[in-house]
């Protein structure tokens, strides 16, 4: 699909409206998802002395914020849907910034790590380079970005009320390289299954 200049903000608001309406159902449907593999992938590559200052980018209802806090780190959530941001605060006890992905206001060189689990694929493709540069700038030198997205054939679409962009590894590598990141590792999820049954591409990058 081809987007006009006004489409990204309209798409973002449409996607956020979906999560606002479905906040409770989304929490019930995802609260028990096991993403320990992804959390470990981020943490093991951070070279700073713990506890780490972390940004959970698209934190949803706060499941992973709570995990990071329980491990002794200092996570901050970022979530665009007001209902999910409020749930994240209640579920984790952490600070949560309510920000649209397309209108980020992030401090420079502040975070040891950024955890973008199932969130960056909602960024409209034409806006992705700018958002990645902003995340790069928000990391401390040597900081680490983790991302996990549903993989695909480099297409974008609206499924129901939600926008998604679906990249293969080569395309995702190209976006991250242009933004200034260096690849540390990648893998497909769920672990232990044939590739055709692994819809998620996870990758870890250093500023």
**Non-local CB neighbours of 118 within 8 Å, separated by 6+ positions:** 58, 148, 149, 150, 200
Residue 14: how many CB atoms within 10 A of its CB? 15
Distance of CA 113 to the CA centre of its chain: 11
Output the CA torsion sign for 42, 47, 51, 54.
negative
Fold classification of 7-206 (topology level): Rossmann fold (3.40.50)
Q: What's the pLDDT score for residue 159?
A: 84
CA pair distance 167, 148, nearest whole angstrom: 11
* Residue of higher predicted confidence among 161 and 58: 58
Q: How confident is the model at residue 3 (pLDDT cuts 50, 70, 90)?
A: low
The confidence score (pLDDT) of residue 111 equals 99
Q: Quick check: 115 and 55 in contact, CB under 8 A? A: yes
Which tokens go with 142?
């040597």
- pLDDT for 138: 98
Task: Give alpha helix (H) positions in 80-196.
Answer: 82-92, 128-138, 169-178
pLDDT above 90 coverage of the chain, percent:
86
**Average pLDDT across the chain, whole number:** 95
Mean pLDDT for 108-126 is: 97
Record the tokens describing residue 18, joined without a space: 């979906």
Buried b or exposed e, range 144-163, using 16+ CB within 10 angstroms? bbbbbbebbeeebeeeeebb
- Whats the size of the chain, residue-wise? 207
Kindly state the DSSP code that residue 82 receives in the 8-state scheme.
H
């Amino acid at each position: 699909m081809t987007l006009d200049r006004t489409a990204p903000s309209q798409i973002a608001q449409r996607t956020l409206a979906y999560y606002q309406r479905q906040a409770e159902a989304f929490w019930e449907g995802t609260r028990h998802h096991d993403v320990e593999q992804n959390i470990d992938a981020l943490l093991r590559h951070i070279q700073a002395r713990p506890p780490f200052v972390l940004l959970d980018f698209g934190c949803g209802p706060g499941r992973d914020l709570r995990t990071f806090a329980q491990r002794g780190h200092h996570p901050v959530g970022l979530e665009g849907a007001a209902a999910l941001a409020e749930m994240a605060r209640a579920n984790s006890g952490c600070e949560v910034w309510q920000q649209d992905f397309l209108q980020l206001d992030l401090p420079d060189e502040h975070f040891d790590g950024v955890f973008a689990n199932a969130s960056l694929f909602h960024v409209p493709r034409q806006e992705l380079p700018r958002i990645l540069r902003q995340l790069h700038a928000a990391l401390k030198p040597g900081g680490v970005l983790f991302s996990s997205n549903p993989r695909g054939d480099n297409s974008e679409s609206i499924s129901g009320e939600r926008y998604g962009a679906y990249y293969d590894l080569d395309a995702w590598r190209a976006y991250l390289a242009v933004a200034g990141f260096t690849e540390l590792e990648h893998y497909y999820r769920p672990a232990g299954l044939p590739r055709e049954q692994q819809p998620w591409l996870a990758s870890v990058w250093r500023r």
